[in-house]
């Protein structure tokens, strides 16, 4: 044991399939869910002393972890660091809160701007890091400030511009910042209109996305001028499977786990899609999902 009772929520050889929405992933050497930011900082200090690499996780809905697992530590910022409060038109949320729960809270307070977040299954931290978005709206439209820890564990406050939001990216991963608290700036709206829009978007999502199967959401970023799902469908790849990994019949931008798919199955399908689409259309599909661990 590397840490003798120094931390409560620590596990060794933890199967990461228990912590990802696609229900796949080998064991992490160390898995830790800090109780609060102080403990997170202390834990990272210990890891640095021992020269152990670490990976930050939110809700694990945008990651594919290799079957060999993760050498080092996974730190999950989850429900233990998830306080939220509303102050006038601002929602202040700790990064472990679910992004969808912030959307519901906004609706309860007749605040508009976060309706799109209702069906996104990640955490607030993951949503900020990825600049998550849907139906023409994205995180960058509603964020006022973000509190982060930098690599020296100093707290910094970044405004919207400093966050350098782009398509499914922000400054967070580039600088290895850790999101701790987010200030969402919303507008007052009509409760009924907000609820109506949330219901409409939910219905669209249920009709178009294979949410009944484990997945990691859209596998590929949208290539400029195209839609990944449409290219994949046009190339005749709909429903193609390797093992239990299958290109969804409902939405070709999703790869679903039909039961016992491995990371290797998913990875091989990704590579096959990328090769086919490049050969047919000259378009390079880049993964939106983060690949963690060894795949080759």
Q: Name which of 135 and 191 has its Cβ closer to ligand FAD.
A: 135
Q: Which member of 100, 118, 129, 181 binds ligand FAD (CB under 6 A)?
A: 129
Q: Is 218 a catalytic residue?
A: yes
Contacts (CB under 6 A) with ligand FAD, residues 26-65: 56-63
Tally the C-alpha atoms within 13 A of residue 17's C-alpha that lie toward its C-beta.
15
* Residue 170 lies near ligand FAD (rule: CB under 6 A): no
* Residue 179 lies near ligand FAD (rule: CB under 6 A): yes
- In angstroms, what CA-CA distances link 187 with 80, 134, 216, 275? 28, 19, 31, 45
Q: Is 288 a catalytic residue?
A: yes
* Least separation in angstroms between CB 279 and ligand FAD: 28
* Residue 132 lies near ligand FAD (rule: CB under 6 A): yes
Q: Name which of 82 and 276 has its Cβ closer to ligand FAD.
A: 82
* Residue 114 lies near ligand FAD (rule: CB under 6 A): no
Report H helices in the chain.
37-49, 99-108, 124-130, 171-175, 191-208, 228-234, 263-281
Tokens linked to 284 = 């390079």
Give the contacts of 224 (CB within 8 A, at least 6 positions apart). Answer: none
Q: Are 30 and 9 in contact (CB under 8 A)?
A: no
Q: Hey, which residues does 70 pair with through a beta bridge? A: 28
Sign of the dihedral through C-alpha 50, 56, 61, 66: negative
Choose the binding region for ligand FAD from 6-14, 100-108, 119-127, 240-248 (rule: CB under 6 A): 119-127
* Residue 126 lies near ligand FAD (rule: CB under 6 A): yes
Give the contacts of 88 (CB within 8 A, at least 6 positions apart). Answer: none
Q: Which member of 121, 229, 253, 293 binds ligand FAD (CB under 6 A)?
A: 121
Q: Are 22 and 257 in contact (CB under 8 A)?
A: yes
Q: Which member of 10, 14, 16, 21 binds ligand FAD (CB under 6 A)?
A: 21
* Least separation in angstroms between CB 280 and ligand FAD: 26
Measure the CA–CA gap between 201 and 195, rounded to whole angstroms: 10
Choose the binding region for ligand FAD from 38-46, 195-203, 208-216, 263-271 (rule: CB under 6 A): 208-216
Q: 273-282: long-range contacts at Cβ-Cβ below 8 A with a sequence spacing of 24 or more?
A: 273/219, 273/220, 273/232, 273/237, 273/247, 276/235, 276/237, 277/231, 277/232, 277/235, 280/231, 280/235, 281/226, 281/231, 281/235
Q: Is 151 a catalytic residue?
A: no
Calculate the CA dihedral of residues 130, 136, 141, 142 and round it to 10 degrees: -90
Q: Which member of 69, 113, 125, 253 binds ligand FAD (CB under 6 A)?
A: 125
Total residues interacting with ligand FAD, rule: CB under 6 A: 33
Contacts (CB under 6 A) with ligand FAD, residues 265-284: none
> Longest Cα pair distance anywhere in the chain, in angstroms?
56
Q: Name which of 281 and 295 has its Cβ closer to ligand FAD.
A: 295
Tokens linked to 246 = 């299958």
* Residue 293 lies near ligand FAD (rule: CB under 6 A): no
Q: Name which of 71 and 275 has its Cβ closer to ligand FAD.
A: 71
Which residue among 147, 168, 246, 248 is the active-site one? 168
Q: What residue ranges bind ligand FAD (CB under 6 A)?
A: 21, 56-63, 77, 95, 120-123, 125-127, 129-130, 132-134, 172-173, 178-179, 209, 211, 215-217, 290
Catalytically active residues are 168, 218, 288
């Amino acid at each position: 044991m590397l840490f003798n009772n120094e931390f409560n929520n620590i596990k060794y050889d933890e199967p990461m399939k228990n912590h990802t929405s696609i229900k796949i992933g080998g064991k992490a050497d160390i898995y830790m869910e800090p109780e609060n930011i102080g403990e997170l900082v202390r834990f990272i200090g210990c890891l640095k002393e021992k020269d152990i690499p670490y990976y930050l996780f939110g809700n694990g809905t945008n990651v594919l972890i290799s079957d060999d697992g993760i050498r080092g530590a996974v730190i999950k910022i989850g429900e233990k660091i998830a306080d939220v409060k509303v102050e006038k038109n601002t929602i202040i949320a700790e990064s472990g809160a679910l992004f969808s729960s912030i959307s519901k809270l906004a609706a309860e307070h007749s605040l508009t701007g976060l309706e799109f977040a209702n069906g996104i299954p990640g955490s607030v931290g993951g949503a900020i890091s990825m600049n998550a978005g849907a139906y023409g709206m994205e995180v960058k439209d509603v964020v006022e400030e973000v509190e982060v820890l930098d690599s020296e564990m100093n707290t910094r406050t970044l405004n919207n511009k400093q966050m350098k939001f782009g398509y499914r990216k922000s400054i967070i991963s580039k600088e290895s910042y850790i999101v701790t608290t987010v200030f969402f700036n919303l507008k007052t709206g009509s409760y009924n209109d907000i609820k109506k829009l949330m219901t409409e978007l939910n219905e669209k999502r249920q009709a178009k996305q294979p949410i009944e199967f484990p997945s990691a959401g859209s596998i590929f970023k949208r290539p400029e001028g195209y839609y990944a799902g449409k290219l994949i469908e046009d190339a005749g790849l709909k429903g193609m499977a390797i093992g239990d990994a299958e290109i969804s019949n409902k939405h070709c931008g999703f790869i679903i786990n039909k039961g016992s798919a491995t990371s290797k199955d998913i990875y091989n399908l990704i590579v096959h899609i990328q090769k086919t689409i490049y050969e047919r259309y000259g378009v390079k599909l880049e993964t939106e999902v983060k690949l963690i661990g060894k795949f080759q």
